[in-house]
Amino acid sequence: MILITGATGTVGRPLVAELAATGHPVRALTRASRTARFPAGVESCDSANPDLDGVTAVFVNPAALWRSEQTLFDAAKAAGVTRVVTLSSSSVLSGDSHHAVANRHRELEAAAESVAPEFVHLRPDAFAANARQWIGQVKSGDTVVGPYAQAVTAPVHEDDIAAVAARALTGGILSGEAPMLTGPQALSFTEQVRILGAALGRPLCYEEISHPAARDAMLSSPWMTEEIADSLLRYFASCVETPTPVSPDLERILGRRGRTFEDWAADRIAEFR
């Protein structure tokens, strides 16, 4: 049995679907266990009371656990789980000791390694799905405003992250590895918005705002902290001078090229209309 945390989330839902489609027994952990809909044969389990009976592998998405992953790790160790796959972050490779996101994921990786004899840390770069932050602006006009227009990342499609996670959870491969997962293109924010516009048939543009203005806008979100906002803005600034490289890991693992940002836009464009 494979336990998936964050089973209704950006990565969790396609991961559950892929595992179920290939015949693997799946227990989906979600806060909405009574109403969530999963493929036939998938068990649903409440996040508040995770059932690890018979579980041999666990997928850990820290965003879904709200800092309660240690409780899950303790239960997994007691249940004899043999493999843990974490949804970590490429930010752990940063030399920034004050990077809140990086430090959070470094702690996650270290904790996971104490739980099971086999572990894999997936370290995606920016998610293509981060573009959803622009939905409101795109719906209301043709200009997206944000920081560091020329910050270059390599956005990865969430379905590709899920595909790698499925292999990490079910095969003997990748044990002890920490693959960096990127899309096949390094793109600036300006280029990403242009691609979205092309998918929509509209001439969208990205307008850069100052670091302080971007910080204020980020802090208007109820889930954002000053520490995370500052870490993200430092990261975006660094991506102007040092663009994120495209990693070969995803293609090595899947045996195919990753989905492009154009593919992601085509898959999700209804959300922007």
Per-residue pLDDT averaged across 134-161, rounded? 97
Is residue 208 pLDDT above 80, yes or no? yes
What digits encode the pLDDT tens for the residues 162-171? 999 999 999 8
- pTM of the prediction? 0.93
Residue 101 banded pLDDT, cuts 50, 70, 90? confident
Six-digit token pair at 221?
A: 């979100």
For the segment 80-94, what is each residue's pLDDT rounded down to a tens digit? 999 999 999 998 887
Q: Specify the pLDDT at position 233.
A: 94
| 67 has a pLDDT exceeding 90 | no
Residue 97 exposure: Cα atoms within 13 Å on the Cβ side: 0
The full set of domains in the chain, from first to last, is 82-272 (3.40.50.720)
- Is pLDDT at 102 greater than 80 in this prediction? no
pLDDT recorded at residue 105: 84
What's the CA gap between 221 and 35, in Å, rounded? 27
H or E segment at 152? strand 152-153
Give the total residue count for the chain. 273
The pLDDT score that the predictor gives to residue 52 is 92
> Which residues have C-beta within 8 Å of that of residue 67, sequence separation ≥ 6?
none
What gap in Å lies between CA 3 and CA 68, rounded to an integer?
16
Residue 189: pLDDT over 90: yes
Q: What is the pLDDT of residue 46?
A: 84
Q: How confident is the model at residue 256 (pLDDT cuts 50, 70, 90)?
A: very high
- Residue holding tokens 């906002």? 229
Q: Is the pLDDT of residue 153 over 70?
A: yes
Phi, psi of 206 (to 5 degrees): -110, 130
Residue 257: both structure tokens together: 């090229």
User: Tell me, what amino acid is at 99?
Assistant: H
Alpha helical stretches, state H, the chain: 12-21, 62-65, 69-79, 100-113, 135-140, 158-170, 189-200, 211-219, 226-241, 249-254, 261-268
pLDDT, averaged across the chain = 92
Q: Model confidence over 30-52: pLDDT tens digits?
A: 887 677 889 999 999 888 788 99
Q: Is 191 exposed, middle or buried (0-12, 13-18, 19+ CB in 10 A)?
A: middle
